[in-house]
Structure 1
Amino acid sequence: MDTNYEIVETVFKRIENLTSNQTELIKLKLYNKTADLATFLAMKAIIVTVLGLFFLFLNIGLSLWLGEILGKIYYGFFLLAAFYAIAAIFIKTSIYKYLQLQINLMVLTKILKDENL
């Protein structure tokens, strides 16, 4: 009778160790995925910021140059603003859903890189 009790107790201890190890493994995988996603998003934010500053100064220079050609400096800014308004309307009406889907897929692919989680 004692041996049956010891066998059952040993099995329960092994199951307890297995479940605690599995939960620890899942927790570590989750930390790894969170760190990967945070790094990915931080790098994308840095790249977008640098490119945004580049295009900001490029647009200021282009606006000044166009304004000089058109005779009044502010005409260049109005012309570029009109161009960006038309571009924004085009993006919103035609490719907004496509861009949203692609961004969602990119983030989800990054999160679900390892399917064993």
Structure 2
Amino acid sequence: MTEDTTPIATLFERAEDYSKTSLKLLRLNAIDKSADVASSLVSRLAVIMTVVFSVLITSIGVALWLGKLLGDAFYGFFIVGGFYAFIAILLHLFREKWLKYPVSNSIIKQMLKEKIV
């Protein structure tokens, strides 16, 4: 069987195959990283929601307990509400340092993590 193709044509075919394969690999890596980040965020969201519900129930219990100690239930709810307002102010003041940078760094670390097969 004789080859009718020139070395240049063969080189172009191999370059085309290489570029197609590289593009597929890049797309698969992007899908893998996206799925990894999304699954990480979903799992963290599940943990955060569980913590939020437990804090909510505990807060209601503490508010009722403080209200019982102080004589009226609404006093306890005012105290607990004031505590959460204070926490919200702190989070607002330090949101860059406590929230933005750690979340950004976590996502970047997750995106740049090498898969060991």
Q: Detail structure 1 runs of 4+ shifted over 2 Å in the superposition.
A: none
CA-CA distance at 1:109 after TM superposition: 1.0
Cα deviation per residue 1:82-116 (whole Å; 9 max; x = unaligned)?
111122212222x21102111111111111223xx
Q: Distance in 2 between matches of 1:37 and 1:101?
A: 16
Q: Distance in 1 between matches of 2:90 and 2:13?
A: 64
For 1:97, the equivalent position in structure 2 comes to: 96
3-state DSSP of counterpart to 1:50: helix
CA-CA distance at 1:36 after TM superposition: 0.3
Which one has the bigger helix percentage? 1
TM-score (norm 2): 0.88
Q: Distance in 1 between matches of 2:90 and 2:17?
A: 58
Q: Distance in 2 between matches of 1:51 and 1:67?
A: 24
Cα deviation per residue 1:28-74 (whole Å; 9 max; x = unaligned)?
10110011011001101111111110100010001000100010011
For 1:111, the equivalent position in structure 2 comes to: 111
Show structure 1 runs of 5+ residues with no match: none
Aligned-residue CA RMSD (Å): 1.8
TM-score (norm 1): 0.88
3-state DSSP of counterpart to 2:6: helix
The within-5 A match list for 1:22-37 is 22-37=22-37
Which amino acid counterpart does residue 92 of structure 1 have in structure 2? H
Q: Distance in 1 between matches of 2:27 and 2:108?
A: 19
Q: Indicate the percent of aligned positions where both proteins have the same amino acid.
A: 28
Larger deviation, residues 53-62 vs 105-114 = 105-114
Which amino acid counterpart does residue 96 of structure 1 have in structure 2? R
| 1:76 and 2:76 matched | yes
| Count of matched residue pairs | 112
